[in-house]
Amino acid sequence: MGKKQTSQIPNILLSVKDASVAISVSTKMVRLLIASGRLKAVNLGKRMTRISLQELTDFAERQGCNVVLPSSSLPFNNNKREKKSKTTAKPETGSINKTAKCRMTTASDIAPEGVTHDSHYTLAEVMSKFSIKYGRLYEIRNRYQLAPIHAWGTTAFRKKDVENAIAKYNEEQGKAQQEAYYTCFDIMQKYGLGKTQVRRFAETHGVRIKKAKGGRANLYLKADWEAARKKAEKTSTSTKAKRT
């Protein structure tokens, strides 16, 4: 009766680990049983020792115990296992898999309807075209409430909105700059100094200097210049006379 039942067992090959779980022993014990000849196994390659379910069941019957296979070990024959791997394989991520959500986006990714490269700038295009860094763009975006959209795998903005916002920002920065700084020409005209005198005075008295937009000229902080001039008037006869 026992032989009839075991002959109906399908030809399934189990790994050493699955076999150890099935008969509730350690993998080390399974290997010892194989080495001693008490449990027959086949070697399919390097680190690919397999025990047939038929052999394991026969061994368990001789020992008076049961075989309980974990669900993860079924099926283990090659045909069914191959089929299972195809149906359960997870989609890849990365630019190769165009349907994956987490992927490296490329310029070919789809944009919302009505959004084109003629109507919108990408984040990188804004920084490149207007020569601004991300921090400055972030400031402009928040100040003028630029509405971002997701297109081509990145953040994009409507061109008209970006251009208007940057124009306003530059205008405001220019006005603020005029209120806080002298140009070299302003000082030359107001105090009757030459260009070299302006530069030397600023350097000698620690007047804070910044580059004008485009980096072609220096701007001198008004507060520093006036404080330095008053201090110099007390010690130098050359600056005591009031210049208008």
| pLDDT digit string, tens, across residues 67-114 | 777 665 555 444 444 444 444 444 433 333 333 333 334 444 688 888
User: Which stretch of 56-65, 142-151, 191-200 has the lowest confidence by average pLDDT?
Assistant: 56-65
Whether residue 39 is predicted with pLDDT greater than 50 in this model: the reply is: yes
Q: According to the model, what pLDDT value does residue 211 have?
A: 80
Whether residue 239 is predicted with pLDDT greater than 80 in this model: the reply is: no
Rounded-to-integer distance, Cα 122 and Cα 127, Å? 9
Q: In what order do the strands lie in the sheet with 149-151?
A: 120-122, 154-158, 149-151
Q: Which tokens is 146 given?
A: 């630029």
Q: Is CATH 1.10.1660 the right assignment for the domain spanning 178-239?
A: yes
Q: How does pLDDT run across 189-235, given as a tens digit for each residue?
A: 888 889 899 999 999 989 998 887 666 778 898 888 899 988 888 87
Instruction: Name the more confident of 45 and 35.
Output: 35
Q: How many CA atoms lie within 13 A of 53 on its CB side?
A: 18
User: For the whole prediction, is pTM greater than 0.75?
Assistant: no
Q: What's the Cα-to-Cα distance from 123 to each of 24, 31, 118, 233, rounded to whole Å?
A: 60, 61, 14, 52
Strand partners, 14: 51
Band of the pLDDT at 14, cuts 50, 70, 90? confident
Q: According to the model, what pLDDT value does residue 213 have?
A: 66
Band of the pLDDT at 126, cuts 50, 70, 90? very high
- Domain extents in the chain: 2-82, 120-176, 178-239
Whether residue 8 is predicted with pLDDT greater than 90 in this model: the reply is: no
**Terminus-to-terminus CA distance in the chain, angstroms?**
123
Cis bond upstream, residue 70 (ω within 30): no
